[in-house]
Structure 1
């Protein structure tokens, strides 16, 4: 039986973590936001800025290549796989490789966190958008129009987090900041009735803004990427409000609702 207390149903703006939270927090919400700053939703925003549509895919295995072929799309491989292959032109989850690629029209983006959450949110019937620091204001403005149009509507924001080696959720502070940045922008547009969880995310974002680029480089996930040679990806993720795209999940793919 679903617990209304865990679902934060008394608030119009809610915040929770990871794939397992989707069933609880999305209940009764017409709109849902997935936030995976390093790097799924950042990469989605960069791809859409370049004119591509993004097909999220939950599994980074042989079926991903089959799925990409079926949709006549480019498959994004893992960062390390792209680098270790010696093919510097390989497209990967790295937003920097997406930015440097040309001619991308359809991209399959495997991700055990962002893609899985997106699929589960869509199954719940909510309108799903992908947000990052890059497009947080654009997403908030799009959400605000819909929330103001229907005073009974609600939005749930899911911070993706990362995974520990045993597969369990590792709450990632960059996703708390990213979620808080979207919720803060909603507040700037007059959207209120935040759950305590959502309000805490706003406070977390405020605590690192405007020096968020340095905070991203110092946090655990940012250090991990930088130590592996992907500091450029962290800097792309820190481009606050540099994108006007609103990635909306439609028929299994993210397209720009603002276009």
Structure 2
């Protein structure tokens, strides 16, 4: 057992790609949280019936080939997709017109963590938008399988990293999204999870304002994507829970809305 293991506890929180790998190696039920915006986009897309195939970055010829193999449309960068009127990493770009259509979605953090964790017994996508619903499904799966649960807030990546520096930038919005889910999970919580829950409870009354003005929120707003920040900061507006199935996400709850 690792010196830094949270293994005595049923519910844990581990950051980024390393956290995703360790959750996969343990065989945990894993919930990927990337609030701005991979998780929020996948939840929104699955909510309207779109079929999402994640693919690790970069957005290159290999990703295009993969999309062709799946008979799916490769989702472009936000700015290019907006010019062409196509869906993108902006969650609001998905609507009922995309029901039943297939899309390949690359992202630097969320898709990369998903790809690493794809061999776990159950892989879910969570965010603020579906925090209660994804916790409900995780509790159900834990009861059925006996597996522990790891929440993986993906974080961001630092720009202009110098030699010897860590690439991972922990992000406030993912920590709060993880806390919102952890708060409704059953079973013993690690100290790391308890602190994460406490951060969410403290922030909950002002969570929209905090995410609006956090570093990641300001970055998106400065690029012209204010609506993305508003959309992703809403709590418990969807019942959709993306569940990994072979190579894409399905709604774990079906069409129960």
For the criterion TM > 0.5, the same-fold answer is yes
> Residues 39 and 10 of structure 1: is their aligned pair in 2 closer, same or farther, counting only changes over 3 Å?
same
RMSD over equivalenced CA pairs, Å: 1.8
Report Cα offsets for 1:116-165 as digits up to 9, x if no partner: 11121123x33100001011111111111222345x42101100000112
Report Cα offsets for 1:183-221 as digits up to 9, x if no partner: 0121xxxx1311111111111111111321111101000
Give the corresponding residue for 1:160: 154
> Do residues 37 (structure 1) and 35 (structure 2) align?
yes
SS at match of 1:133: coil
Give the corresponding residue for 2:206: 211
Counterpart selection for 2:134 from 139, 143, 149: 139
CA contact (8 A) 2:24 2:118 kept: no
Displacement, 1:100?
7.7
> Do residues 96 (structure 1) and 92 (structure 2) align?
yes
Distance between the aligned counterparts of 2:180 and 2:143, measured in 1? 19
Which piece of structure 1 moves more, 167-176 or 21-30?
21-30
Distance between the aligned counterparts of 1:7 and 1:126, measured in 2? 20
5+ residue gaps, structure 1, are none
Give the corresponding residue for 2:81: 82
> Residues 100 and 144 of structure 1: is their aligned pair in 2 closer, same or farther, counting only changes over 3 Å?
closer
5+ residue gaps, structure 2, are none
CA contact (8 A) 1:26 1:156 kept: no
Distance between the aligned counterparts of 1:230 and 1:35, measured in 2? 20
SS at match of 1:244: coil
CA contact (8 A) 2:74 2:104 kept: yes
Give the corresponding residue for 1:250: 245
Which piece of structure 1 moves more, 31-40 or 61-70?
61-70
Displacement, 1:99?
3.4
With normalisation by structure 2, the TM-score equals: 0.90
SS at match of 1:210: helix
Give the corresponding residue for 1:107: 103
> Residues 201 and 26 of structure 1: is their aligned pair in 2 closer, same or farther, counting only changes over 3 Å?
farther
CA contact (8 A) 2:241 2:253 kept: yes
With normalisation by structure 1, the TM-score equals: 0.90
Distance between the aligned counterparts of 2:199 and 2:226, measured in 1? 23
CA contact (8 A) 2:131 2:181 kept: yes
